Chains A and B, each alone.
Chain A
Amino acid sequence: MATQIPENLKYTKEHEWALLNDNVITVGITDFAQASLGDIVFVELPEVGRTLDQDEAFGVVESIKSVSDLYSPIAGEVVEVNEALTESPESLNQTPYDSWMVKIKVDNDSEYNALLTNTDYATLCEG
């Protein structure tokens, strides 16, 4: 099955997706990421209130065989965490674009606009 890359989202080289809404970005991992990882069995997410730099590791996602860091696409403050994921990490495999991980309040949207577009990201995945 072809990798799903929704048009309305932005992407990172670390295979995360981001969506900006009222100065808050919602972040998750892409369909490509979940397929590469295989069965996801564990997610570790940050505390609400933590301040992140761009590209700072904020959490971990583990499959049966691997451990992968999660990186913040943009600098900002964690305002909400999807606690439900820690109970059902498999939803990252099933519905990667509905299974958001964190919401980050951002200072400006220039970093967001500089993220990869869906077409850039599709090229990265093919490479």
Chain B
Amino acid sequence: MKRTSLYEKHLAADGRMVDFAGWEMPVQYSSLKDEILAIRNKVGVFDVSHMGEFWVTGPEAFQFIESLIPNSFDVEVGKAVYSPLLNREGKMLDDLIVYKVADQKVLICVNAANVEKDWNWIEKAWKETNPNCEIKNSSDSYSLLAVQGPETEKVMEKVFGKSFTDIPYYGVDTHSNDQGEWVFARTGYTGEDGFEVFGNHEQTVWLWDELMKQGVAPCGLGARDTLRLEVCYPLYGNELNDQLTPLDAGLKWTTKLDKGDFIGKSALVDYKPIKRLIKLSLEKGIPRAGYDVLNMSGEKIGEITSGTMSPILNKGIALALIEVEKFPEDKSFQVEIRGKQYPATYHTKAFVQGGHK
């Protein structure tokens, strides 16, 4: 199994290590609940070095990205865009963030489990369209920390001795200090304010130690998953997969059919969604991935894709994919847990409103 540059730090912090996409990663340190509260109320840090980083550089870097992803990349330099990555059938290969770091310079950050698949796909598209830019898979050269929570900016200013107020939400900037070159991105997966900090392995070990000195709580992937579910961010492999288009999974907003051509566009123009992603909460019982969602007559109409107990709300929360054909007009749902049916409340907004800028 692969280990990040922070493996020893995780053991020293009593991290409980588990296999995640072939990586030995900390799922939890002290208490899952305490880690969740640290991120919502103060500041915590996740090691997400297992994620992949690709660079696209050169005169046609921006155009190449525009042809590769369904979301619009027509943003200023210093901004980032969230998008799915589609195959020619418009089905989702992954979801990723594309950072317009500088003129002719783009950084793509992808899910750990999909690094190889994404790289092969992007390389294929690059060879086919032959744009005037270079592509590079730099995943092995980078470590990545996600510092998240309302006190992130304060802590980052102390550690780096510079102001971060100029970087907007979904903004990106580069910086050099004694340690080397950094990429700072005001992104994350928790709904709170925070930065994802890309650096080489040695730099990142230094940053981890500095964050610990500032009292930043080490947080595991368990907390990260609960936090993202509370703010209803989808997870590839749960809500998103290669059998679904973005239109099936609540990502219509990332699919700009009115922009120029992109991979998968022709398949999506007349596409009729087969699934619909919904948010459900339960007063009693905890919904889990794979549980059946029923209508009020007890007929199965879909499945929970992610579910947990939200320690902040003290109730069960879930995302579920419902078959469009069976979507109940009254928006009344039940979840079956161990043979018993529990009433579920349909939500139009995220369960928790994160405090991001």
> Which residues on A are within 8 Å of B, measured CB to CB?
38-39, 41-42, 44, 60, 62-65, 67
Q: Of A39, A60, A62, A67, which one neighbours B311 at CB under 8 angstroms?
A: A39
**Given contacts A39-B33, A41-B286, could you give 6 more A-B pairs where the C-beta distance is less than 8 Å?**
A42-B309, A63-B32, A64-B222, A65-B225, A65-B308, A67-B288
B338 touches A38 (CB 8 A): no
B285 touches A64 (CB 8 A): no
B311 touches A41 (CB 8 A): yes
Name the B residues within 8 Å of A63 (CB-CB).
32
Closest to B34 in A: A39
B33 touches A64 (CB 8 A): yes
A64 touches B308 (CB 8 A): yes
A-B contact pairs, 19 of them (CB 8 A): A38-B32, A38-B33, A39-B31, A39-B32, A39-B311, A41-B286, A41-B309, A41-B311, A42-B285, A42-B309, A62-B286, A62-B309, A63-B32, A64-B33, A64-B311, A65-B222, A65-B225, A65-B226, A67-B286
Complex-state Cα separation, A67 to B286, whole angstroms:
9
A60 touches B226 (CB 8 A): no
> Which residues on B are within 8 Å of A, measured CB to CB?
27-28, 31-33, 222, 225-226, 285-286, 288, 308-309, 311, 338
Name the B residues within 8 Å of A42 (CB-CB).
285-286, 309
The majority secondary structure among interface residues of chain A is strand
B222 touches A60 (CB 8 A): no
| 6 nearest A-B pairs in the assembled complex, by CB-CB distance | A41-B309, A39-B33, A64-B32, A64-B309, A38-B32, A65-B222
Name the A residues within 8 Å of B311 (CB-CB).
39, 41, 64
Name the A residues within 8 Å of B309 (CB-CB).
41-42, 62, 64
Complex-state Cα separation, A64 to B226, whole angstroms:
8
Name the A residues within 8 Å of B288 (CB-CB).
67
A-B contact count (CB 8 A): 34
Closest to B284 in A: A42
Closest to A86 in B: B284
B338 to chain A, nearest CB (A): 7
Closest to B311 in A: A64
Name the B residues within 8 Å of A60 (CB-CB).
338
A61 to chain B, nearest CB (A): 11
Name the B residues within 8 Å of A44 (CB-CB).
338
Complex-state Cα separation, A67 to B285, whole angstroms:
11
Complex-state Cα separation, A52 to B21, whole angstroms:
40
Complex-state Cα separation, A44 to B285, whole angstroms:
9
Complex-state Cα separation, A63 to B222, whole angstroms:
11
B133 to chain A, nearest CB (A): 42
A38 touches B286 (CB 8 A): no
Complex-state Cα separation, A41 to B313, whole angstroms:
12
Complex-state Cα separation, A62 to B285, whole angstroms:
10
Complex-state Cα separation, A42 to B338, whole angstroms:
14
B279 to chain A, nearest CB (A): 18
A50 to chain B, nearest CB (A): 15
